[in-house]
Structure 1
Amino acid sequence: MTKTMLITGASTGFGLHTAQLFSDRGWNVVATMRTPAAGAELAKRANVLVTRLDVQDRDSIDEAIAAGIERFGGIDVLVNNAGFGLFGIFEATSREKIQEQFDVNVFGVMDVTRAILPHFRQKQAGVIVNVSSGAGVFGLPMISLYNASKFALEGFSESLSYELSSQGIVVKIVEPGGVVSTEFGTRSAAEAGQSTAPEDYASFVAGALKVFEGLRTARLATSEDVAQVILNAATDGSDRLRYVATQDIEPLVKARRETSEDAYIAMMRSTFLPTS
């Protein structure tokens, strides 16, 4: 039987390319987004249902899952992809923006997951793929709130994987980073423009921005690359938890996970706090 996946944040970037890839591979796809009109091209595909799901609107979550089950008879894979990143100095970020960061990246994932679990438990089967980030592995300045949300997502996903294995449900974490062909950076830049850091941070911000610019120019990965890793994670039949999705972040992931704490912190400080 043809399998079905539901993905959040499918209008652009990773979500769009993942929905297209699954559809191309013969899957039924429930492509959800806050504004369904943005998915007009996807909706032309016979095996794709485009429907509204705003992870901050619980009613829309329940309605999207119900619509997917009604259209295709069931859902086999959930991809929690919707998210955004705050960029800027923590002290300059309002509490309201911090709340929104967690509402989307953490609580939204939890709400969508909770809503689909009864369906998966009834089948004693299902795969949940949570799209994390390199920022869920290593900390970087200027994205402390995004880091915090992705670290929370990683811990939640790992803990949840133990619980759900008892129900035949598998949890996966996909960790992308360094991707240029996505709207994610556009929103992050817009968010950053809404806050102004105290002047005391000016020299630090200038130095950090130079480092980030160097990282941006070296980026090679695409949204299509990440979509392929999401597909692999959803279909490889293993109980593997984490998948590093892009080569760009592998050196930092390796430094965080395979070197000593002192060596790792020294390396990061020398990068972002260079001596004059």
Structure 2
Amino acid sequence: MAPVWFITAASSGFGHGMALSALERGHTVIATARKTSRIQDLADRGAHTLALDVTWPLADQQRIASDIIARHGRVDYLINAAGYILEGSVEECSPAEVQDVFNTNVFGIMNTIKAFLPHLRAQDAVSRPDGRELRATVVAFGSLGSWEGGAGYSAYGMTKFSTSALMESLHRELEPFRITAVTIEPGYFRTGFLNPGARVVSAERMAVYDDESTPTGKTRAALPAVDGKQPGDVVRGSKVAVDMLTGTGVAEGKKPVGDRIVLGSDCEQVIRGKCARTLSLLDEWQDVIRSTDYPKE
């Protein structure tokens, strides 16, 4: 049987790109979006489409999960691609705006996973090209922002740190059930993510943070300037992600993916820099860090 993919937010970006890549391999794809009219091109290519908003109540998502399993028998790859950026300083973002971005970027993903997990645990394990016997792969999207926060997008960074932590935890929780959990962490890719219609801006704007001599002001000017000029190619990134998840293509013969996939030279650079700075901090303060333990008997 062809592997079955269930993909949220398949109307654009990596959700759309991964759906196309899976379809090109002859896999079964259930693509979702808030409006199915936005994914008609995927339906035209053979995808099954349905309306889904990840912020819908858990009970609604559980009904959808049950219907999908009843119709298709299983889901091999559960891809959570929903998410958006909230631009605004900590002082500007309202509690409601922060709650909204968490509802989509974190809590919605968590509910979709919760809705499917009972079914994924119950289905049979199958052999993967990389030699693993797995029941399913659960995927969510972190980002470069999972590793390094930044002025002007703190709430978004909080959600991406949370998503990567969620998936790292799930990776360990689900291992006994032959289900693997993976975070995909892309750098800046040329998607519609930063388009004016997709980039959400805090309602309150304070002049002090518009000053381009401040870090927040620099970010505020840079985001629209970089839109459409990001270094990452989402078509290539999506194909590589699908290769790495399935153990085929560029991943053939390599060690199976662990709990994360990093995409983009800019994301690699940020992660290497963060790791180097963290190791330097630990080396500098090693004696002080260890001095807080109870004395060894």
- Cα 1:136/1:31, change in 2 over 3 Å: same
1:229-244 correspondence runs (5 A):
229-236=240-247, 238-244=256-262
1:87-106 correspondence runs (5 A):
87-106=87-106
2-side partners of 1:68 and 1:25: how far apart? 21
Q: Which amino acid aligns with 2:51?
A: R
Q: Cα distance, 1:77 vs. partner?
A: 0.8
Equivalent of residue 140 in structure 1, options 142, 150, 164: 150
2-side partners of 1:196 and 1:261: how far apart? 37
1:65-84 correspondence runs (5 A):
65-84=65-84
Q: Cα distance, 1:256 vs. partner?
A: 0.8
Residues 225 and 246 in structure 1, CA contact (< 8 A), matched pair in contact too = no
Residues 151 and 219 in structure 2, CA contact (< 8 A), matched pair in contact too = yes
2:206 alignment partner in structure 1 = 197
Residues 194 and 223 in structure 2, CA contact (< 8 A), matched pair in contact too = no
2:43 alignment partner in structure 1 = 43
- Cα 1:184/1:212, change in 2 over 3 Å: closer
- Cα 1:175/1:2, change in 2 over 3 Å: same
Q: Cα distance, 1:30 vs. partner?
A: 0.7
In the alignment, structure 1 segments of 5+ residues that lack a partner are 264-276
1:250 alignment partner in structure 2 = 268
2-side partners of 1:66 and 1:215: how far apart? 42
Residues 52 and 60 in structure 1, CA contact (< 8 A), matched pair in contact too = no
1:55 alignment partner in structure 2 = 54
SS of the equivalent of 2:187 reads coil
SS of the equivalent of 1:79 reads strand
The C-alpha deviation readout for 1:204-258, integer Å capped at 9, x for no partner, is 1333445657866873212112212321232128251111111222211110123
Q: Cα distance, 1:68 vs. partner?
A: 2.7
1:32 alignment partner in structure 2 = 32
1:117 alignment partner in structure 2 = 117
1:273 alignment partner in structure 2 = none
2-side partners of 1:196 and 1:131: how far apart? 28
2-side partners of 1:178 and 1:37: how far apart? 27
2-side partners of 1:142 and 1:20: how far apart? 33
- Cα 1:212/1:200, change in 2 over 3 Å: closer
Q: Does 1:15 pair with 2:15? A: yes
CA RMSD across the alignment: 2.5
SS of the equivalent of 1:50 reads strand
Equivalent of residue 227 in structure 1, options 192, 215, 238: 238
2-side partners of 1:211 and 1:100: how far apart? 24
Q: Which amino acid aligns with 1:30?
A: I
1:3 alignment partner in structure 2 = 3
- Cα 1:168/1:3, change in 2 over 3 Å: same
Equivalent of residue 181 in structure 2, options 171, 196, 200: 171
Residues 194 and 227 in structure 2, CA contact (< 8 A), matched pair in contact too = no
1:153 alignment partner in structure 2 = 163
**Please, what TM-score do these two structures have when normalized by structure 1?**
0.86
The C-alpha deviation readout for 1:89-127, integer Å capped at 9, x for no partner, is 111111111001111111011101111111111025110
Q: Cα distance, 1:37 vs. partner?
A: 1.4
- Cα 1:115/1:200, change in 2 over 3 Å: closer
- Cα 1:168/1:185, change in 2 over 3 Å: same
2-side partners of 1:174 and 1:93: how far apart? 27
Residues 69 and 119 in structure 2, CA contact (< 8 A), matched pair in contact too = no
SS of the equivalent of 1:90 reads coil
The sequence identity of aligned pairs, in percent, is: 27
- Cα 1:214/1:184, change in 2 over 3 Å: closer
1:269 alignment partner in structure 2 = none
Flag the structure with larger Rg. Answer: 2
- Cα 1:104/1:187, change in 2 over 3 Å: farther
Q: Which amino acid aligns with 1:255?
A: G
2-side partners of 1:214 and 1:141: how far apart? 16
In the alignment, structure 2 segments of 5+ residues that lack a partner are 126-134, 248-254, 282-297
2-side partners of 1:7 and 1:234: how far apart? 14
1-side partners of 2:112 and 2:95: how far apart? 24
Residues 195 and 227 in structure 2, CA contact (< 8 A), matched pair in contact too = no
Mean alpha-carbon deviation: is it higher for 217-226 or for 80-89?
217-226
